[in-house]
A and B are shown apart, each in its own frame.
Chain A
Amino acid sequence: MGGGHSHALYLPGTSPLHRARPQCKLAAAFLFVLAVVATPREAFWAFGVYALLLTGLARVARLPLPTLARRLVIELPFLLFALFLPLVGQGERVEVLGLSLAREGLWAAWNIVAKGTLGVATSVILAATTPVPELLRGLERLRLPAAFTTVAGFMVRYADVIVDEVRRMRIARISRGHDPRWIWQARAVAATAGTLFIRSYERGERVYLAMVSRGWTGSMPVLQELGATRGQWLAALCLPALAALVAATAWGTRP
């Protein structure tokens, strides 16, 4: 069976960050990213402060920085895109190492790289300190429609089962001499996708029957009250409040 891919991002721990209520963490992360995005791109120092704040958080949560850094790699495609902007940009140009680059393009690239990295780093820390089921419960507490969180929960629960099914079908294919390097064998891959769809659909039907058999009537029972106290909210919102302060100062001191 699956090796728990869906929990791969979570790094268990007992830090205050791990113990914080998921809805507080989600709200704090969202507001923090908003503040980052709203910061003028010329305020280099502000981005430095944000980076320091996040590093401090990672420290508090005792997360290994190298692991976090490696996870930042998912934003690489966006960074590549940003790299092109100075080359293809229009308008005033500057010379850097013998290359003629567009000034506006450089600013745009810096903007994407700085804000993107900070945003991804925030989510990486959130995911490393909050297991997926808790994230979903947090979203539920934040009044996201139950249909959305329920479906997301099932996706998480059955991702492993489906990944495993894909793996088994692939093994069955290659055991019978299938070699997906050749284009004419794409048909078998397409057929696998079709079969996977039907199997998943039928699995859905069976899960539904099992749920109905246990008295399900359309809404998931709330098993635990995960309410957050005022104190927990205040503690969590310190971070975005600081960030907002920084962003406001950056705007205020803009030349």
Chain B
Amino acid sequence: MTAAPPPALEVEGVAFAYPDGHQALFGVSFRIQPGERVALLGPNGAGKTTLVLQCNGVLLPGAGRVAVTGLPVAAEHLKEIRRRVGIVFQDPDDQLFMPTVAEDVAFGPANLGLRGAELETRVKAALAAVGMEEHAARPPHHLSFGQRRRVAVATVLAMEPDILILDEPSSNLDPASRRELAEIVTGLDVTILMVTHDLPYALQLCPRALVMNGGAITADGPTAELLADAELLAANRLELPFGFDPAALRVR
């Protein structure tokens, strides 16, 4: 028996159709090793969010399998799966629903059965990780958008996930907030899968990238190499921002 550690996330031949019959995923396969930071790139409607929802069993694949550090995503393991996989959704207003920031951060770990002092330390640590300790007692809807995004990250960190999935974390953030979020993300010691339309951001944070289009993975490799491949980008409706020089990527 070889004792290689199981991949942090293993997706194998996953196909999925929404109840209205719309087929969103056509046999998606990839593996992410523990500690990796991977970007998931692709145009609108590629199926990125749909794929993310397969990873913690909110949607269950019609065919194929998903496993998180060796544990298959299936109805009987959902509680443990949801502890291992933390998803930060695109709109923080969808994620923050408790009366105060601290209670919102406590929601996840409390669902895992934590109480009292243990719960409190978790909440404090998670808020400290995103630099939001002093806002613990405020209602989430009184915070700025960037602050809400950070709290949303904290709500998931408080569950101490093995893998953190961020769905378009930099959208609607001003450049300073984007940089702060990048610092938070690079400072974390977890496996990360980050969905983004922001290619330079992906390059900055994730050494590896997956490109998705039309419900299938069309490329998988080092981010710098993928972004330097103009044909690949064009074929997948991906565009670098104006003035961004892909040639500069090769020297890296």
Contact = CB atoms under 8 A, between A and B. Distances in A.
A161 interface: yes
Given A1-B141, A206-B89, A207-B94, A214 B106 contact: no
Contacts of A212: 58, 82
A213 B82 contact: yes
Contacts, number: 77
A207 B99 contact: no
A161 B111 contact: no
Interface residues of B, number: 33
Contacts of A215: 79, 82-83, 108, 111-112, 159
Nearest to B93: A161
Contacts of A209: 53, 58, 89, 94
A213 B112 CA distance: 12
A223 B110 contact: yes
A93 to B, nearest CB: 55
A214 B111 contact: yes
A54 to B, nearest CB: 28
A133 B103 CA distance: 11
Nearest to B55: A213
Contact of A217 (B94, B95, B111): B111
B103 A213 contact: no
Interface string B18-57: 0000000000000000000000000000000000010010
B100 A133 contact: yes
Contacts of A136: 99
Contacts of A206: 89, 91, 94
B204 to A, nearest CB: 26
Leading 5 A-B pairs by shortest Cβ distance: A221-B110, A133-B99, A215-B111, A214-B108, A206-B94
A214 B159 contact: yes
By secondary structure, the A interface counts as helix
B155 A4 contact: no
A12 to B, nearest CB: 12
By secondary structure, the B interface counts as helix
A168 B156 CA distance: 30
A135 to B, nearest CB: 11
A216 interface: yes
Contact of A214 (B53, B93, B103, B107): B107
A213 B83 contact: no
B244 interface: no
Contact of A2 (B56, B107, B141): B141
A50 B85 CA distance: 57
Interface in B107-138: 107-108, 110-112, 119
B97 interface: yes
B209 interface: no
B83 to A, nearest CB: 7
Interface in B79-105: 79, 82-83, 85-87, 89, 91, 93-95, 97-100, 103
Nearest to B107: A214
A157 B92 CA distance: 13
A211 interface: yes
A7 interface: yes
B7 interface: no
Given A161-B93, A210-B89, A214-B159, 18 more contacts: A1-B141, A4-B141, A4-B142, A154-B97, A158-B97, A203-B93, A207-B95, A209-B89, A210-B95, A210-B97, A211-B107, A213-B85, A213-B86, A214-B155, A221-B106, A221-B107, A221-B111, A223-B103
